[in-house]
Structure 1
Amino acid sequence: MLRLLHVRDLVIVDEAEINFAPGFTVFSGETGAGKSILIDALSLVLGARGDTGLLRSGAERAEITAVFDTPDSLQAWLSERDFDPQDDLVLRRIIDAQGRSKAYVNGVPANLGMLRELGEHLVDIHGQHAHQGLLTAANQRRLLDQHAGLTESAQATAQAWQAWKQAMQALEAAQRNAATVEQERERLQWQIDELTALAPRPGEWEAVSNEQSRLAHGQALLEGATRTLALLEDESASALQILNTAIHQIQQVLRHDSQLQSVLDALESARISASEAVSDLNSYLDRLELDPEALARAEQRVGQLFDAARKFHVEPEALPELLEQLTQQLEATHAAADVDALQARVKAAEAAYHAAAGALGAGRRKAAQRLSKEVTAAMQELAMQGGAFQVVLSPCPAGPHGTETVEFHVAGHAGTPPRPLAKVASGGELARLSLALSVIASQAAQVPTLIFDEVDTGIGGAVAEVVGRLLRQLGERHQVLCVTHLPQVAARGSHHFEVRKSSAGGTTVSDIRPLEPRDRIEEVARMLGGMKITDTTRKHAKEMLLG
């Protein structure tokens, strides 16, 4: 759930920090006091787009921080993206005066897409104009799927549709481009044949180049090694003889001064190294031989590899990799031109789509009956006695959203047949239906926190009491936050915050404070009677809070 929200320099909020509790929390206040700024702040910290118009006048930047309990469903998500999973999930959003935006998750930089993904697991916001969305078929379909827990099934159907569509496009392309594919296959085949005959091996270019260089300079290598050996050992003034003489001389005087021991050690090390060099040179000369035939073979291979590399516009060492790439491309052209295989793929994709769409449709039919029954029952309590609600599913051609359309029908009174919602519902009826749908759909919601932003607009009296009771009941299963102007709803809250605005130095500032029981009576009385609060309204307010 949401535990804390800290807002600084947002619209008319100078600085506010709100601690939240479980259950049903209400926010009230005069019009224009900034109640909905809280919803705007939460939307921003959950990835909504923002601009400089949201900054408080004169501020350099706006900053919002929200602290949530980390749901189990997000532990893996956080770990996969290197966000340290903790008991507290801290989201932070900054928007500066230049329009730049920064976001953080548990102190680690993030992007807005990540915040939006997190928001889907944390909060569900029902805005004050949500009822307008009920008029579109897409939103009606989405609401039914969400209520029924069919979101993943709907996504699977859309993915299966896309796979079927791509398979059909591949088949059509193969049939349309058969001649072009054949030409491409012939070109690849002769390139592969030529490289296969050459048979370049990984690492061969470096090895054969080194071998050719060694053979080409065989005489120079022989002469150089022989002369070096003579200098070390064979000549009268060879290095070894000089070192032996030097060692003998030092040994003669070492007994007179032990400091010469380091010199003797160095000379001994040099003699050992020289002796090892003599041994290595003798072995090298035993193996070294001049081989004109081997040189000719190496030079021929170097030429073959170099000519092929120039022909195919690659470096000689890349020839083995090129052969592998061309082979894979040829295999791909065979697959692309295999009409029988592509037809089988289309058939399999079609079957997979209809299986996914069939499962989605079955779930929708079951959910449509349940939702129709629940909303019809809610209508009776929301001053729409005798009214009825129906979720109508109609067959349609296969598409990304399944094989049926979803349309909400309503009958506002007994004896009238249900008709499409967009054609018959008045503004007030639409607002009440939207609220009923929001509450009923939210009962099955997986997110811990539900927010209702003045969704009770356009209702009052006994209906408002029902709305307050419904939201209080919803607060037993979720954390519910509600911005309201109705005393009947505010009185049902387990917790109550008042939002006030004041002016200081020509600047309007919004202030948010939790209400104690006595203050709460005053606020509900204000909501009942306006600016003039009497003992009667206070008594009525107290009764509502106790009821």
Structure 2
Amino acid sequence: MLRGLDIRDMLIIDRLELNFSAGLNVLTGETGAGKSILLDSLGFVLGWRGRAELVRQGADQGEVIAWFELSPDHAAFDVLREAGWDVEDELILRRVNTRDGRKTAWINDRRASGEVLRAVSETLVELHGQHDDRGLLNARGHRALLDEFAGLEAALSDVATHWRDVRAANRALDAARAELAAVKDEEEFLRHAVAELDALAPEPGEEAALDTRRRLMQGAEKIRDDIARAHTAMGRDGAEAQLDAAMRWLDDAASGAEGGLDEPVAALSRAMSELADAQAGVDRVLDSLAFNPSELEDTEERLFAIRALARKHDVFSDDLAAFADELRIKLQALDGGAHKIADLEAALAAAQKTYDRAADALTAQRQLAAANLDAAMSAELAPLKMERAVFTTDVTPCDAGPTGKDEVAFRVATNPGAPSGPLNKIASGGELSRFLLALKVCLTRSTTGLTMIFDEIDRGVGGATADAVGRRLAEVASAGQVLVVTHSPQVAALGAHHWRVEKRVTSGTDGDITTSTVVPLNADDRVDELARMLSGDKITDEARGAARALLGG
């Protein structure tokens, strides 16, 4: 709830600090005393739209501070956490307006944007009055009000979940259809390309192997003759025969050389072994250089085919096999697309059926709640001297969405048989105030911790009707906090806390200065204030007696 308000240099307020309490807080005062300025100042610190020029004449800037006492699970803390704030035990709003129109806001001493400030303020204070287009008069919010009245949070959550399922199923089906359409557009290309790739069947690394083989075959004829001659020179008709002969001769002479030929014989033996290795290596090369004359032509043909296919599809030769796999997957999607779409259509139909069932159940609950709200309003309107008025909650079909398939609108007819219409189109000023009050009583019976402001909602009524208005304001305030600006003594008498707004004129060097202040009233002061409200400027004993009767009633 709102615990305090500190206003400095705003309009005709010099410095004003107010401390509020739970229950019904009433503010009274003569017309023009500045009651609306208090609401303007509160609206300013809450980020509401209001007057453009708020800074008191002669001041450089105006400032308003509001502090709130909230439960740990209050919705304001959820807003702050989502905006990145560290949540504290108390909530202090501060906003400054400079002479040149710049506005700066803080929440718990941290700069806050207007968007965050307004999001927080919507959870803190409700304003209700004859020109309240943000609250009960705004038809866009009637469905949420009816749902809250009926306690349909669980049903709403269920419908929202099923709506998300429907949207997800729709997106999956649309994506599959788009994918299938795209594949169908290139079906001829896919089938031709896959057939072409399958026919060639290129493998990773094959291009490099073919190129190496091709270059080897191209140079084979040139080097084969030299290698063959070398092979002959090392063979039985060449070096091998000579070494064999030398070995025999040395073996025959070794016995007479007294060991002098041992080392040469060993070296020659090693040379013969190395020669054998060389012959084997040359044999292998000669074997590799042996090819069918058509093999070079076949190798070049396949190499050029692989390179041409790689250029055609703008991929590396080594990636052709993987590219072929990708195309096959697209063809599989094409071939299995109809079946997949049938499955997705079935899933969408099932999700839609589940959503429709939940939404229809929610509609039934809303229709029952609408009848209950209409009955509750009928009971509330009678004591407010509007027993002939008819309040109806219309639940009508609309496009499906996360909140169901219903539109909700509060409509009234001021007399039986008269045409009904929106609240703000049918009811007069005084009637509208009473409609709004009755509606708020019905909607807040199970709600606690609210801070509500009623700005002259009792305008145009008096006597027993004003007393009924006051009693309903007190009922709303019993579970929370209500601030009411009133000209009705019957309403003011029911307040748990009473302030009088006064306008004072003082003389200064630059002329008269008008300021507004707020005075808390004790028991005797309340009697005099109510007497003034009853009789005017001249307070009589009879008026004081009537005031005491109101306070005692």
TM range (shorter): 0.5 to 0.7
Match of 2:550 among 534, 544, 547: 544
Other structure's SS at 1:124 match: strand
Question: What's 2:217 paired with?
Answer: none
Letter in 1 for 2:447: A
Q: 1:433 to 1:485 in 2, by over 3 A?
A: same
Query: Are 2:521 and 1:515 equivalent residues in the alignment?
Result: yes
Question: What's 2:8 paired with?
Answer: 8
Letter in 2 for 1:477: A
Letter in 2 for 1:65: I
- For residues 365-514 of structure 1, the aligned pairs below 5 Å read 365-399=367-401, 401-410=403-412, 412-413=414-415, 416-417=416-417, 419-422=419-422, 425-504=427-506, 505-514=511-520
Other structure's SS at 1:54 match: coil
Cα deviation, residue 427, structure 1: 4.3
Query: Are 2:140 and 1:138 equivalent residues in the alignment?
Result: yes
- For residues 33-432 of structure 1, the aligned pairs below 5 Å read 33-49=33-49, 52-74=52-74, 78=80, 81=83, 83-130=85-132, 137-150=139-152, 164=166, 168=170, 171=173, 175=177, 178-180=180-182, 339-340=341-342, 342-344=344-346, 346-347=348-349, 349-351=351-353, 353-399=355-401, 401-410=403-412, 412-413=414-415, 416-417=416-417, 419-422=419-422, 425-432=427-434
Cα deviation, residue 115, structure 1: 2.5
Q: 1:125 to 1:52 in 2, by over 3 A?
A: closer
Letter in 1 for 2:18: I
Other structure's SS at 2:88 match: coil
Q: 1:24 to 1:481 in 2, by over 3 A?
A: same
Q: 1:363 to 1:32 in 2, by over 3 A?
A: farther
Cα deviation, residue 421, structure 1: 3.5
2 CA distance for matches of 1:518 and 1:443?
33
Cα deviation, residue 131, structure 1: 8.2
2 CA distance for matches of 1:79 and 1:397?
33
Residues 90-122 of structure 1: per-residue CA shift (max 9 Å, x gap): 122222233333222222222233323333432
Match of 1:524 among 520, 527, 530: 530
Letter in 1 for 2:488: L
1 CA distance for matches of 2:387 and 2:144?
27
Cα deviation, residue 397, structure 1: 4.9
Answer whether contact 1:50 1:95 (CA < 8 A) is retained.
no
**Number of residue pairs the alignment of both structures matches:** 422
Question: What's 1:28 paired with?
Answer: 28
2 CA distance for matches of 1:482 and 1:57?
28
Q: 1:34 to 1:424 in 2, by over 3 A?
A: closer
Q: 1:88 to 1:424 in 2, by over 3 A?
A: closer
Letter in 2 for 1:466: A
Percent identity for Structure 1 against Structure 2: 42
Residues 126-176 of structure 1: per-residue CA shift (max 9 Å, x gap): 133238976664344343234334478658757865774675477457646
Answer whether contact 1:67 1:88 (CA < 8 A) is retained.
yes
Cα deviation, residue 382, structure 1: 0.8
Answer whether contact 1:51 1:95 (CA < 8 A) is retained.
no
Letter in 2 for 1:60: D
Residues 464-495 of structure 1: per-residue CA shift (max 9 Å, x gap): 00111111222221111111111110111011
Cα deviation, residue 342, structure 1: 4.9
2 CA distance for matches of 1:185 and 1:405?
48
| Structure 2 gap segments, 5+ residues each | 198-202, 206-313, 316-322
Other structure's SS at 1:3 match: strand
Question: What's 1:279 paired with?
Answer: none
Other structure's SS at 2:53 match: helix
2 CA distance for matches of 1:427 and 1:69?
34
2 CA distance for matches of 1:468 and 1:401?
36
Residues 346-401 of structure 1: per-residue CA shift (max 9 Å, x gap): 43553454355235324322321221111101111011235443323344553565
1 CA distance for matches of 2:137 and 2:63?
35
Other structure's SS at 1:524 match: helix
Letter in 2 for 1:30: E
Answer whether contact 2:437 2:473 (CA < 8 A) is retained.
no
| Structure 1 gap segments, 5+ residues each | 200-310, 313-322
RMSD of Structure 2 on Structure 1 (CA): 4.3
Answer whether contact 2:433 2:459 (CA < 8 A) is retained.
yes
> TM-score, structure 2 length as denominator?
0.64
Cα deviation, residue 344, structure 1: 4.8
Q: 1:126 to 1:411 in 2, by over 3 A?
A: closer
2 CA distance for matches of 1:29 and 1:501?
9
Q: Which one has a bigger Cα radius of gyration?
A: 2
Q: 1:352 to 1:493 in 2, by over 3 A?
A: same
